[in-house]
Structure 1
Amino acid sequence: MVRRHSRAVASAVVAIAVLLSTATPGTAAGPSAEYREATAVVLAPREPAPVTAAAERFWELQLNLCNSGIAGCYRQGRSIPEAADLIRRVRPNLVTLNEICSNDVPSQLAPALQQAWPGDHVYHLFVPAVRRDTGTPVKCVNGQDYGNAVLGRVAAANYRGVNAWSGRYTSQDSGNEQRTFACAYAVGDHLSCATHLSASSEPVALAQCRALLFDVVPNIRSAEGLTGRTVVGGDFNLEYDTSDPENAQNCVPPGHVRKGDGDVQHVVFSGDNAFVSTTKYGMSHTDHDGFLVRLNKP
Protein backbone atom coordinates (compact mmCIF):
# COMPACT_ATOMS: atom_id res chain seq x y z
CA MET A 1 0.00 0.00 0.00
CA VAL A 2 1.25 3.47 -0.85
CA ARG A 3 0.39 6.34 1.46
CA ARG A 4 1.42 9.91 0.81
CA HIS A 5 2.49 12.07 3.76
CA SER A 6 3.11 15.80 3.84
CA ARG A 7 6.53 15.81 5.49
CA ALA A 8 8.55 19.01 5.02
CA VAL A 9 12.23 18.32 5.44
CA ALA A 10 13.83 21.76 5.66
CA SER A 11 13.74 25.44 4.80
CA ALA A 12 16.39 24.86 2.13
CA VAL A 13 14.11 22.79 -0.09
CA VAL A 14 10.63 22.36 -1.41
CA ALA A 15 10.16 18.70 -0.55
CA ILE A 16 7.90 15.69 -0.95
CA ALA A 17 7.67 12.29 0.69
CA VAL A 18 5.85 9.03 0.01
CA LEU A 19 5.85 6.04 2.36
CA LEU A 20 5.83 2.47 1.07
CA SER A 21 5.20 0.53 4.28
CA THR A 22 2.63 0.13 7.01
CA ALA A 23 4.74 1.93 9.60
CA THR A 24 3.68 5.33 10.90
CA PRO A 25 6.20 7.92 9.71
CA GLY A 26 7.94 10.47 11.86
CA THR A 27 7.68 14.17 11.15
CA ALA A 28 10.81 16.05 10.14
CA ALA A 29 11.45 19.57 11.35
CA GLY A 30 10.83 22.43 8.96
CA PRO A 31 8.10 24.64 7.54
CA SER A 32 5.25 23.61 5.25
CA ALA A 33 6.13 22.72 1.66
CA GLU A 34 4.60 22.16 -1.74
CA TYR A 35 4.20 18.50 -2.58
CA ARG A 36 3.98 16.25 -5.59
CA GLU A 37 3.92 12.47 -5.80
CA ALA A 38 6.97 10.23 -5.69
CA THR A 39 6.98 6.45 -5.66
CA ALA A 40 9.79 4.02 -4.98
CA VAL A 41 9.26 0.87 -7.04
CA VAL A 42 10.48 -2.41 -5.58
CA LEU A 43 11.25 -5.56 -7.55
CA ALA A 44 10.87 -8.77 -5.53
CA PRO A 45 13.50 -11.53 -5.62
CA ARG A 46 13.32 -13.97 -8.54
CA GLU A 47 14.99 -16.84 -6.66
CA PRO A 48 16.35 -17.58 -3.16
CA ALA A 49 19.16 -15.26 -2.10
CA PRO A 50 22.61 -16.85 -2.47
CA VAL A 51 24.89 -17.08 0.53
CA THR A 52 27.99 -14.94 -0.07
CA ALA A 53 31.05 -14.03 1.98
CA ALA A 54 30.79 -10.47 0.60
CA ALA A 55 27.33 -9.87 2.11
CA GLU A 56 28.49 -6.78 4.03
CA ARG A 57 30.08 -5.02 1.07
CA PHE A 58 28.27 -1.89 -0.05
CA TRP A 59 29.37 -0.55 -3.43
CA GLU A 60 28.03 2.69 -4.90
CA LEU A 61 28.16 3.43 -8.64
CA GLN A 62 27.66 7.04 -9.74
CA LEU A 63 26.59 7.58 -13.37
CA ASN A 64 25.73 10.69 -15.38
CA LEU A 65 24.30 9.23 -18.60
CA CYS A 66 23.61 12.36 -20.69
CA ASN A 67 20.41 10.92 -22.12
CA SER A 68 18.14 13.97 -22.40
CA GLY A 69 18.68 14.22 -26.14
CA ILE A 70 19.48 17.92 -25.81
CA ALA A 71 23.11 18.08 -24.65
CA GLY A 72 25.95 17.62 -27.11
CA CYS A 73 27.11 14.46 -25.30
CA TYR A 74 23.87 12.63 -26.22
CA ARG A 75 24.47 9.42 -28.20
CA GLN A 76 20.99 8.32 -29.31
CA GLY A 77 20.27 6.51 -26.04
CA ARG A 78 23.27 4.20 -26.21
CA SER A 79 24.51 5.24 -22.77
CA ILE A 80 21.63 3.32 -21.14
CA PRO A 81 22.49 -0.21 -22.36
CA GLU A 82 26.16 0.63 -21.78
CA ALA A 83 25.33 1.50 -18.16
CA ALA A 84 23.19 -1.64 -17.80
CA ASP A 85 26.15 -3.75 -18.93
CA LEU A 86 28.39 -2.03 -16.37
CA ILE A 87 25.84 -2.65 -13.59
CA ARG A 88 25.69 -6.36 -14.42
CA ARG A 89 29.48 -6.56 -14.51
CA VAL A 90 30.29 -4.55 -11.37
CA ARG A 91 27.28 -5.64 -9.26
CA PRO A 92 26.95 -2.47 -7.16
CA ASN A 93 24.59 -2.34 -4.19
CA LEU A 94 23.56 1.21 -5.06
CA VAL A 95 23.47 3.28 -8.25
CA THR A 96 22.94 7.05 -8.34
CA LEU A 97 21.88 8.36 -11.74
CA ASN A 98 21.82 11.78 -13.42
CA GLU A 99 20.56 13.02 -16.80
CA ILE A 100 18.25 10.12 -17.52
CA CYS A 101 14.69 9.77 -18.81
CA SER A 102 11.93 8.32 -16.64
CA ASN A 103 11.70 4.99 -18.47
CA ASP A 104 15.46 4.32 -18.52
CA VAL A 105 15.43 2.79 -15.04
CA PRO A 106 12.46 0.38 -15.22
CA SER A 107 13.19 -0.62 -18.82
CA GLN A 108 16.92 -1.41 -18.56
CA LEU A 109 18.82 -0.26 -15.47
CA ALA A 110 16.69 -1.80 -12.70
CA PRO A 111 16.45 -5.14 -14.57
CA ALA A 112 20.24 -5.10 -14.86
CA LEU A 113 20.62 -4.71 -11.09
CA GLN A 114 18.02 -7.44 -10.53
CA GLN A 115 20.04 -9.71 -12.80
CA ALA A 116 23.15 -8.90 -10.76
CA TRP A 117 21.32 -9.71 -7.49
CA PRO A 118 18.56 -12.17 -8.49
CA GLY A 119 17.78 -13.30 -4.95
CA ASP A 120 17.33 -9.84 -3.44
CA HIS A 121 14.95 -6.88 -3.54
CA VAL A 122 15.76 -4.06 -5.97
CA TYR A 123 14.15 -0.63 -5.59
CA HIS A 124 14.23 2.51 -7.72
CA LEU A 125 13.04 6.08 -7.35
CA PHE A 126 13.03 8.61 -10.22
CA VAL A 127 12.53 12.34 -9.61
CA PRO A 128 12.32 14.85 -12.48
CA ALA A 129 13.93 18.25 -12.69
CA VAL A 130 11.32 21.02 -12.69
CA ARG A 131 10.72 23.85 -15.17
CA ARG A 132 10.87 27.30 -13.61
CA ASP A 133 8.26 28.74 -16.00
CA THR A 134 5.56 26.09 -15.60
CA GLY A 135 6.41 24.08 -12.47
CA THR A 136 6.10 20.91 -14.56
CA PRO A 137 8.77 18.25 -15.17
CA VAL A 138 11.58 18.97 -17.61
CA LYS A 139 11.26 16.65 -20.62
CA CYS A 140 13.69 14.56 -22.62
CA VAL A 141 13.36 14.90 -26.40
CA ASN A 142 11.45 11.59 -26.39
CA GLY A 143 8.73 13.18 -24.24
CA GLN A 144 9.60 11.36 -21.02
CA ASP A 145 10.40 13.21 -17.80
CA TYR A 146 14.08 14.08 -17.31
CA GLY A 147 15.91 13.91 -13.99
CA ASN A 148 17.70 11.83 -11.38
CA ALA A 149 17.20 8.42 -9.81
CA VAL A 150 18.42 6.15 -7.06
CA LEU A 151 18.56 2.42 -7.74
CA GLY A 152 19.43 0.00 -4.97
CA ARG A 153 19.55 -3.54 -3.72
CA VAL A 154 18.52 -4.85 -0.30
CA ALA A 155 19.34 -8.41 0.78
CA ALA A 156 16.12 -10.42 0.94
CA ALA A 157 16.68 -11.26 4.61
CA ASN A 158 16.99 -7.53 5.48
CA TYR A 159 14.11 -6.12 3.42
CA ARG A 160 11.53 -4.14 5.45
CA GLY A 161 10.16 -1.73 2.83
CA VAL A 162 11.34 1.48 1.17
CA ASN A 163 10.35 5.07 2.00
CA ALA A 164 10.76 7.71 -0.72
CA TRP A 165 11.73 11.35 -0.22
CA SER A 166 12.43 13.99 -2.86
CA GLY A 167 12.28 17.70 -3.49
CA ARG A 168 13.37 20.85 -5.27
CA TYR A 169 16.05 23.17 -3.90
CA THR A 170 15.05 26.68 -2.89
CA SER A 171 18.39 28.03 -4.17
CA GLN A 172 18.41 27.90 -7.99
CA ASP A 173 20.35 29.58 -10.79
CA SER A 174 18.64 31.77 -13.40
CA GLY A 175 18.06 28.93 -15.87
CA ASN A 176 14.72 27.27 -16.54
CA GLU A 177 15.78 23.85 -15.21
CA GLN A 178 15.39 23.73 -11.44
CA ARG A 179 17.47 21.09 -9.68
CA THR A 180 16.07 18.35 -7.46
CA PHE A 181 17.12 15.44 -5.26
CA ALA A 182 15.86 11.87 -4.82
CA CYS A 183 16.31 9.93 -1.56
CA ALA A 184 15.20 6.41 -0.70
CA TYR A 185 15.32 4.86 2.75
CA ALA A 186 15.54 1.08 2.69
CA VAL A 187 14.07 0.61 6.14
CA GLY A 188 16.65 -0.49 8.69
CA ASP A 189 19.34 -0.94 6.01
CA HIS A 190 20.51 2.32 4.38
CA LEU A 191 19.57 5.78 3.10
CA SER A 192 20.58 6.67 -0.46
CA CYS A 193 20.28 10.00 -2.28
CA ALA A 194 21.02 11.17 -5.84
CA THR A 195 21.27 14.74 -7.07
CA HIS A 196 22.48 16.87 -9.98
CA LEU A 197 23.44 20.40 -9.00
CA SER A 198 23.56 23.72 -10.87
CA ALA A 199 25.84 23.70 -13.91
CA SER A 200 25.92 27.48 -14.42
CA SER A 201 26.69 28.78 -10.92
CA GLU A 202 29.19 27.21 -8.55
CA PRO A 203 27.92 29.29 -5.58
CA VAL A 204 24.40 27.98 -6.23
CA ALA A 205 25.71 24.41 -6.65
CA LEU A 206 27.49 24.67 -3.30
CA ALA A 207 24.36 26.07 -1.64
CA GLN A 208 22.33 23.17 -3.04
CA CYS A 209 24.93 20.66 -1.92
CA ARG A 210 24.96 22.06 1.61
CA ALA A 211 21.15 22.12 1.69
CA LEU A 212 21.04 18.41 0.89
CA LEU A 213 23.85 17.23 3.14
CA PHE A 214 23.53 19.61 6.10
CA ASP A 215 19.74 20.01 6.12
CA VAL A 216 17.73 17.46 4.15
CA VAL A 217 19.66 14.28 4.99
CA PRO A 218 19.79 14.94 8.77
CA ASN A 219 16.05 15.68 8.78
CA ILE A 220 15.24 12.49 6.89
CA ARG A 221 17.41 10.50 9.26
CA SER A 222 15.69 12.12 12.23
CA ALA A 223 12.24 11.37 10.82
CA GLU A 224 13.17 7.77 10.05
CA GLY A 225 15.06 7.14 13.30
CA LEU A 226 18.25 6.38 11.37
CA THR A 227 21.84 7.06 12.41
CA GLY A 228 24.55 6.78 9.76
CA ARG A 229 24.27 4.25 6.92
CA THR A 230 23.93 7.05 4.38
CA VAL A 231 25.37 7.43 0.87
CA VAL A 232 24.80 10.49 -1.38
CA GLY A 233 26.05 10.50 -4.97
CA GLY A 234 25.77 12.77 -7.95
CA ASP A 235 27.16 15.23 -10.43
CA PHE A 236 27.74 18.14 -8.06
CA ASN A 237 29.23 20.43 -10.74
CA LEU A 238 31.86 21.23 -8.10
CA GLU A 239 35.48 20.19 -8.09
CA TYR A 240 37.77 19.37 -5.20
CA ASP A 241 39.90 22.52 -5.31
CA THR A 242 41.15 23.91 -2.03
CA SER A 243 41.97 27.29 -3.63
CA ASP A 244 38.33 27.76 -4.69
CA PRO A 245 35.66 28.84 -2.16
CA GLU A 246 33.26 26.57 -4.05
CA ASN A 247 35.32 23.53 -3.11
CA ALA A 248 33.28 20.29 -3.06
CA GLN A 249 34.78 19.50 0.33
CA ASN A 250 32.90 22.49 1.77
CA CYS A 251 29.60 20.62 1.59
CA VAL A 252 30.80 17.57 3.53
CA PRO A 253 29.31 17.48 7.05
CA PRO A 254 31.31 16.38 10.09
CA GLY A 255 31.33 12.61 10.42
CA HIS A 256 31.16 12.11 6.64
CA VAL A 257 33.69 11.31 3.93
CA ARG A 258 33.80 12.48 0.30
CA LYS A 259 35.35 10.64 -2.61
CA GLY A 260 35.48 12.21 -6.08
CA ASP A 261 36.31 11.17 -9.62
CA GLY A 262 38.83 14.01 -10.07
CA ASP A 263 36.19 16.09 -11.83
CA VAL A 264 32.61 16.96 -10.76
CA GLN A 265 31.15 13.63 -9.65
CA HIS A 266 31.26 12.90 -5.93
CA VAL A 267 30.04 10.38 -3.39
CA VAL A 268 29.59 11.47 0.23
CA PHE A 269 28.97 8.81 2.87
CA SER A 270 28.56 8.64 6.62
CA GLY A 271 31.72 7.64 8.44
CA ASP A 272 30.26 4.40 9.80
CA ASN A 273 30.67 3.04 6.27
CA ALA A 274 34.25 1.80 5.88
CA PHE A 275 35.99 3.05 2.74
CA VAL A 276 37.81 0.43 0.65
CA SER A 277 38.71 1.86 -2.79
CA THR A 278 37.46 3.65 -5.92
CA THR A 279 37.54 2.82 -9.63
CA LYS A 280 36.69 4.90 -12.69
CA TYR A 281 35.20 3.22 -15.77
CA GLY A 282 35.51 4.93 -19.13
CA MET A 283 32.14 5.28 -20.87
CA SER A 284 31.80 5.50 -24.65
CA HIS A 285 28.34 7.10 -24.86
CA THR A 286 28.38 9.80 -22.17
CA ASP A 287 30.84 12.53 -21.22
CA HIS A 288 31.36 11.28 -17.64
CA ASP A 289 33.18 8.23 -16.33
CA GLY A 290 31.35 5.65 -14.30
CA PHE A 291 32.59 6.20 -10.73
CA LEU A 292 32.54 3.26 -8.29
CA VAL A 293 33.12 3.70 -4.56
CA ARG A 294 33.65 0.48 -2.65
CA LEU A 295 32.46 0.57 0.96
CA ASN A 296 31.76 -1.94 3.71
CA LYS A 297 28.46 -1.32 5.49
CA PRO A 298 28.32 -1.53 9.30
Structure 2
Amino acid sequence: MARGNAFKRLALTAAGLALLSTVTAPSAAAAERFWELQLNLCNSGIAGCYQQGRSVPEAADLIVQVRPDVVTLNEICAGDVPDRLAPALARAWPGDRIYQVFSPAIRRDTGTPVKCANGQDYGNAVLGRVSAAAYRGVKTWTGRYATQDSGNEQRSYACAYAVGDHLSCTTHLSASSEPVALAQCRSLLFDVIPGIRTAEGISGKTVVGGDFNLEYDTADPENAQKCVPPGHVRKGDGSVQHVVFSNDLAFVSTTRYGLRYTDHDGFLVRLTKP
Protein backbone atom coordinates (compact mmCIF):
# COMPACT_ATOMS: atom_id res chain seq x y z
CA MET A 1 0.00 0.00 0.00
CA ALA A 2 1.31 3.44 -0.88
CA ARG A 3 1.85 5.83 2.01
CA GLY A 4 -0.94 8.35 2.40
CA ASN A 5 -3.73 6.13 1.03
CA ALA A 6 -7.05 7.06 2.60
CA PHE A 7 -8.94 3.90 3.54
CA LYS A 8 -12.40 2.82 4.44
CA ARG A 9 -12.62 -0.93 5.04
CA LEU A 10 -16.03 -2.54 4.97
CA ALA A 11 -17.40 -6.06 5.18
CA LEU A 12 -20.25 -7.32 3.04
CA THR A 13 -22.85 -8.92 5.29
CA ALA A 14 -26.37 -10.24 4.86
CA ALA A 15 -27.66 -6.86 5.99
CA GLY A 16 -25.48 -4.91 3.60
CA LEU A 17 -22.19 -3.09 4.13
CA ALA A 18 -20.86 -2.79 7.68
CA LEU A 19 -18.26 -0.09 8.33
CA LEU A 20 -15.16 -1.34 10.13
CA SER A 21 -12.92 1.73 10.10
CA THR A 22 -12.76 5.05 8.30
CA VAL A 23 -10.17 7.61 7.29
CA THR A 24 -11.43 9.77 4.42
CA ALA A 25 -9.68 12.15 2.08
CA PRO A 26 -11.23 15.51 1.19
CA SER A 27 -13.81 15.24 -1.58
CA ALA A 28 -13.55 17.04 -4.89
CA ALA A 29 -17.06 18.43 -5.12
CA ALA A 30 -16.66 20.26 -8.41
CA ALA A 31 -15.44 17.31 -10.50
CA GLU A 32 -17.27 14.26 -11.88
CA ARG A 33 -16.93 11.06 -9.85
CA PHE A 34 -15.04 8.19 -11.48
CA TRP A 35 -14.86 5.11 -9.27
CA GLU A 36 -12.92 1.92 -10.05
CA LEU A 37 -13.70 -1.38 -8.29
CA GLN A 38 -11.08 -4.14 -8.45
CA LEU A 39 -12.26 -7.71 -7.80
CA ASN A 40 -10.54 -11.11 -7.86
CA LEU A 41 -13.41 -13.59 -7.57
CA CYS A 42 -11.55 -16.93 -7.46
CA ASN A 43 -14.31 -18.53 -9.53
CA SER A 44 -12.42 -21.04 -11.68
CA GLY A 45 -13.87 -23.97 -9.77
CA ILE A 46 -10.35 -25.37 -9.45
CA ALA A 47 -8.44 -23.20 -6.96
CA GLY A 48 -8.69 -23.89 -3.24
CA CYS A 49 -10.37 -20.54 -2.61
CA TYR A 50 -13.37 -21.47 -4.84
CA GLN A 51 -16.71 -21.24 -3.02
CA GLN A 52 -19.19 -22.97 -5.35
CA GLY A 53 -19.70 -19.85 -7.45
CA ARG A 54 -21.01 -17.72 -4.60
CA SER A 55 -18.40 -14.99 -5.14
CA VAL A 56 -20.17 -13.85 -8.32
CA PRO A 57 -23.58 -12.96 -6.79
CA GLU A 58 -21.70 -11.47 -3.82
CA ALA A 59 -19.76 -9.27 -6.25
CA ALA A 60 -22.96 -8.38 -8.12
CA ASP A 61 -24.52 -7.19 -4.86
CA LEU A 62 -21.44 -5.07 -4.14
CA ILE A 63 -21.57 -3.50 -7.61
CA VAL A 64 -25.21 -2.50 -7.14
CA GLN A 65 -24.49 -0.97 -3.72
CA VAL A 66 -21.23 0.81 -4.56
CA ARG A 67 -22.13 1.90 -8.13
CA PRO A 68 -18.59 1.96 -9.61
CA ASP A 69 -17.95 3.43 -13.06
CA VAL A 70 -15.40 0.72 -13.95
CA VAL A 71 -15.02 -2.81 -12.59
CA THR A 72 -11.84 -4.82 -13.22
CA LEU A 73 -12.25 -8.55 -12.74
CA ASN A 74 -9.80 -11.44 -12.30
CA GLU A 75 -10.25 -15.21 -11.94
CA ILE A 76 -13.70 -15.34 -13.49
CA CYS A 77 -15.46 -17.49 -16.07
CA ALA A 78 -16.58 -16.00 -19.39
CA GLY A 79 -20.27 -16.27 -18.51
CA ASP A 80 -19.98 -14.47 -15.18
CA VAL A 81 -19.99 -11.02 -16.79
CA PRO A 82 -23.05 -11.26 -19.08
CA ASP A 83 -24.96 -13.51 -16.68
CA ARG A 84 -24.57 -11.60 -13.39
CA LEU A 85 -22.03 -8.78 -13.29
CA ALA A 86 -22.97 -6.64 -16.30
CA PRO A 87 -26.68 -6.79 -15.33
CA ALA A 88 -25.66 -5.64 -11.82
CA LEU A 89 -23.86 -2.59 -13.24
CA ALA A 90 -26.88 -1.88 -15.46
CA ARG A 91 -29.08 -1.91 -12.34
CA ALA A 92 -26.67 0.46 -10.63
CA TRP A 93 -26.71 2.86 -13.62
CA PRO A 94 -30.15 2.59 -15.29
CA GLY A 95 -30.22 4.30 -18.67
CA ASP A 96 -26.42 4.31 -19.11
CA ARG A 97 -24.50 2.30 -21.71
CA ILE A 98 -22.67 -0.72 -20.28
CA TYR A 99 -19.59 -2.21 -21.93
CA GLN A 100 -17.57 -5.36 -21.29
CA VAL A 101 -14.49 -7.15 -22.61
CA PHE A 102 -13.20 -10.58 -21.53
CA SER A 103 -9.74 -12.04 -22.14
CA PRO A 104 -8.97 -15.71 -21.37
CA ALA A 105 -5.74 -17.02 -19.98
CA ILE A 106 -4.06 -19.28 -22.54
CA ARG A 107 -2.73 -22.82 -22.13
CA ARG A 108 0.94 -23.14 -22.97
CA ASP A 109 0.57 -26.73 -24.21
CA THR A 110 -2.34 -26.21 -26.63
CA GLY A 111 -2.57 -22.46 -27.26
CA THR A 112 -6.27 -22.64 -26.37
CA PRO A 113 -8.11 -20.86 -23.53
CA VAL A 114 -7.76 -22.14 -19.99
CA LYS A 115 -11.12 -23.55 -18.87
CA CYS A 116 -13.10 -23.18 -15.68
CA ALA A 117 -14.46 -26.36 -14.11
CA ASN A 118 -17.82 -25.54 -15.76
CA GLY A 119 -16.22 -25.61 -19.23
CA GLN A 120 -16.29 -21.85 -19.83
CA ASP A 121 -13.15 -19.88 -20.67
CA TYR A 122 -11.26 -18.61 -17.61
CA GLY A 123 -9.63 -15.18 -17.39
CA ASN A 124 -10.07 -11.45 -16.82
CA ALA A 125 -12.61 -8.82 -17.78
CA VAL A 126 -13.28 -5.11 -17.76
CA LEU A 127 -16.81 -3.89 -17.16
CA GLY A 128 -17.80 -0.25 -17.29
CA ARG A 129 -20.43 2.35 -17.94
CA VAL A 130 -20.74 5.55 -19.97
CA SER A 131 -23.67 7.93 -19.80
CA ALA A 132 -25.99 7.60 -22.78
CA ALA A 133 -25.33 11.22 -23.75
CA ALA A 134 -21.54 10.71 -23.80
CA TYR A 135 -21.49 7.28 -25.45
CA ARG A 136 -19.57 7.16 -28.74
CA GLY A 137 -18.80 3.46 -28.92
CA VAL A 138 -16.20 1.17 -27.34
CA LYS A 139 -13.05 -0.39 -28.79
CA THR A 140 -11.48 -3.42 -27.11
CA TRP A 141 -8.06 -5.08 -26.95
CA THR A 142 -6.93 -8.40 -25.49
CA GLY A 143 -3.62 -10.21 -25.51
CA ARG A 144 -1.09 -12.34 -23.66
CA TYR A 145 2.38 -11.38 -22.54
CA ALA A 146 5.59 -12.36 -24.29
CA THR A 147 7.17 -13.08 -20.88
CA GLN A 148 5.57 -15.97 -19.01
CA ASP A 149 6.54 -18.25 -16.13
CA SER A 150 7.04 -22.00 -16.62
CA GLY A 151 3.45 -22.90 -15.72
CA ASN A 152 0.80 -23.94 -18.21
CA GLU A 153 -1.42 -20.88 -17.60
CA GLN A 154 -0.19 -17.95 -19.69
CA ARG A 155 -1.30 -14.58 -18.36
CA SER A 156 -3.30 -12.04 -20.35
CA TYR A 157 -4.77 -8.52 -20.28
CA ALA A 158 -7.99 -6.87 -21.42
CA CYS A 159 -8.57 -3.20 -22.29
CA ALA A 160 -11.60 -1.16 -23.34
CA TYR A 161 -11.64 2.37 -24.73
CA ALA A 162 -14.93 4.16 -24.22
CA VAL A 163 -14.39 6.55 -27.10
CA GLY A 164 -13.80 10.11 -25.96
CA ASP A 165 -14.32 9.23 -22.30
CA HIS A 166 -11.77 6.84 -20.74
CA LEU A 167 -9.48 3.83 -21.24
CA SER A 168 -9.70 0.96 -18.75
CA CYS A 169 -7.61 -2.22 -18.49
CA THR A 170 -7.17 -5.23 -16.25
CA THR A 171 -4.69 -8.05 -15.78
CA HIS A 172 -3.80 -10.96 -13.50
CA LEU A 173 -0.03 -11.46 -13.40
CA SER A 174 2.20 -14.46 -12.71
CA ALA A 175 1.66 -16.02 -9.28
CA SER A 176 4.84 -18.12 -9.29
CA SER A 177 7.53 -15.58 -10.27
CA GLU A 178 7.69 -11.99 -9.08
CA PRO A 179 10.32 -11.06 -11.71
CA VAL A 180 7.96 -12.38 -14.41
CA ALA A 181 5.00 -10.56 -12.84
CA LEU A 182 6.96 -7.30 -12.85
CA ALA A 183 7.99 -7.80 -16.48
CA GLN A 184 4.35 -8.44 -17.42
CA CYS A 185 3.22 -5.39 -15.47
CA ARG A 186 5.78 -3.17 -17.19
CA SER A 187 4.81 -4.59 -20.58
CA LEU A 188 1.20 -3.58 -20.03
CA LEU A 189 1.84 -0.17 -18.48
CA PHE A 190 4.88 0.90 -20.50
CA ASP A 191 4.20 -0.73 -23.89
CA VAL A 192 0.65 -1.99 -24.50
CA ILE A 193 -1.29 0.93 -23.03
CA PRO A 194 0.90 3.67 -24.58
CA GLY A 195 0.44 1.87 -27.90
CA ILE A 196 -3.35 1.94 -27.52
CA ARG A 197 -3.29 5.57 -26.47
CA THR A 198 -1.17 6.51 -29.48
CA ALA A 199 -3.36 4.56 -31.89
CA GLU A 200 -6.55 6.14 -30.55
CA GLY A 201 -5.21 9.61 -29.81
CA ILE A 202 -5.97 9.28 -26.09
CA SER A 203 -4.23 11.88 -23.96
CA GLY A 204 -5.28 10.71 -20.51
CA LYS A 205 -8.12 9.36 -18.35
CA THR A 206 -6.65 5.86 -18.11
CA VAL A 207 -7.23 3.42 -15.26
CA VAL A 208 -5.73 -0.06 -14.80
CA GLY A 209 -6.83 -2.43 -12.06
CA GLY A 210 -5.73 -5.96 -11.33
CA ASP A 211 -4.18 -8.64 -9.20
CA PHE A 212 -0.51 -7.91 -9.91
CA ASN A 213 0.85 -10.58 -7.54
CA LEU A 214 3.29 -7.86 -6.49
CA GLU A 215 3.34 -5.91 -3.24
CA TYR A 216 4.33 -2.33 -2.55
CA ASP A 217 7.66 -2.77 -0.75
CA THR A 218 10.54 -0.38 -1.35
CA ALA A 219 13.01 -3.02 -0.13
CA ASP A 220 11.83 -5.57 -2.70
CA PRO A 221 13.46 -5.56 -6.15
CA GLU A 222 10.01 -6.45 -7.52
CA ASN A 223 8.26 -3.51 -5.87
CA ALA A 224 4.87 -2.88 -7.51
CA GLN A 225 5.77 0.79 -7.80
CA LYS A 226 8.35 -0.13 -10.47
CA CYS A 227 5.61 -0.70 -13.04
CA VAL A 228 4.07 2.76 -12.61
CA PRO A 229 4.93 5.01 -15.58
CA PRO A 230 5.63 8.74 -15.24
CA GLY A 231 2.41 10.72 -15.11
CA HIS A 232 0.56 7.94 -13.28
CA VAL A 233 -0.38 7.16 -9.67
CA ARG A 234 -0.73 3.76 -7.96
CA LYS A 235 -2.99 2.85 -5.06
CA GLY A 236 -2.88 -0.60 -3.48
CA ASP A 237 -5.01 -2.69 -1.14
CA GLY A 238 -2.09 -3.46 1.18
CA SER A 239 -1.53 -6.77 -0.58
CA VAL A 240 -1.29 -7.66 -4.30
CA GLN A 241 -4.21 -5.78 -5.85
CA HIS A 242 -3.45 -2.38 -7.34
CA VAL A 243 -5.07 0.39 -9.36
CA VAL A 244 -2.86 2.61 -11.53
CA PHE A 245 -4.35 5.74 -13.08
CA SER A 246 -3.23 8.70 -15.15
CA ASN A 247 -2.69 11.83 -13.09
CA ASP A 248 -5.38 13.80 -14.91
CA LEU A 249 -7.72 11.75 -12.69
CA ALA A 250 -7.75 13.10 -9.14
CA PHE A 251 -7.51 10.74 -6.17
CA VAL A 252 -10.15 11.01 -3.44
CA SER A 253 -10.09 7.86 -1.26
CA THR A 254 -9.99 4.06 -1.19
CA THR A 255 -12.11 1.40 0.48
CA ARG A 256 -11.52 -2.30 1.07
CA TYR A 257 -14.60 -4.53 1.27
CA GLY A 258 -14.25 -7.83 3.10
CA LEU A 259 -15.85 -10.52 0.92
CA ARG A 260 -16.91 -13.94 2.22
CA TYR A 261 -16.59 -16.03 -0.93
CA THR A 262 -13.20 -15.06 -2.36
CA ASP A 263 -9.73 -14.77 -0.86
CA HIS A 264 -9.27 -11.11 -1.92
CA ASP A 265 -10.95 -7.97 -0.63
CA GLY A 266 -12.97 -5.88 -3.02
CA PHE A 267 -10.86 -2.76 -3.58
CA LEU A 268 -12.54 0.52 -4.52
CA VAL A 269 -10.58 3.56 -5.65
CA ARG A 270 -12.57 6.79 -5.75
CA LEU A 271 -11.33 9.22 -8.38
CA THR A 272 -12.73 12.29 -10.08
CA LYS A 273 -12.25 13.37 -13.66
CA PRO A 274 -12.36 16.83 -15.20
TM-score by length of 1: 0.82
Q: Counterparts in 2 of 1:1-298, with a 5 A limit?
A: 56-298=32-274
Q: What secondary structure, in the 3-state scheme, does the structure 1 residue paired with 2:171 have? A: strand
Quote how far apart the aligned CAs of 1:225 are: 0.5
Q: Distance in 2 between matches of 1:113 and 1:54?
A: 24
1:206 offset after TM fit, Å? 0.1
* Bigger strand fraction: 2
Q: Which deviates the most, 74-83 or 55-64?
A: 55-64
Distance in structure 2 (CA, Å) of the matches to 1:139 and 1:119: 34
**Paired letter, 1:220:** I
Q: In 2, Cα distance between the equivalents of 1:95 and 1:261? A: 15
Give the counterpart letter for 1:204 in structure 2: V
**Distance in 1, Cα, partners of 2:83 & 2:211:** 23
Work out whether residues 148 and 155 of structure 2, in 8 Å CA contact, stay in contact via their aligned partners in 1: yes
**Distance across 1 between alignment mates of 2:133 and 2:260:** 37
Q: Residues 31 and 272 of structure 2 are in contact (CA less than 8 Å); yes or no, is this contact kept in structure 1?
A: no
For residues 166-211 of structure 1, what are the alpha-carbon distances to aligned partners after superposition, in whole Å with 9 as ceiling and x for unaligned?
1010000000000000000000000000100000000000000000
Structure 1, unpaired ranges of 5+: 1-52
- Cα offset, 1:55, TM superposition: 7.9
Any idea what SS the aligned residue of 1:77 has?
coil
Find the residue that maps to 2:209 and give its secondary structure: strand
Runs of 4+ in 1 over 6 A off after TM superposition: none
Deviations 1:129-170 (A, max 9, x none): 000000000000000000000000001111000001110100
Matched residue SS, 2:188: helix
Taking structure 2 as the reference length, the TM-score comes to 0.89
Letter in 2 for 1:224: E
Question: Secondary structure at the residue paired with 2:133?
Answer: helix
Matched positions, count: 246
The question of whether the paired residues in 1 share the 8 Å contact of 2:252 and 2:272 is answered with: yes
Q: Which runs of 5+ in 2 are unaligned?
A: 1-28
Question: How far, CA to CA, are the matches of 2:81 and 2:236 in structure 1?
Answer: 24
What RMSD in Å do the two structures reach over aligned CA positions?
1.0
Distance 2:30 2:116 in 1: 38
Q: 1:157 to 1:140 in 2, by over 3 A?
A: same
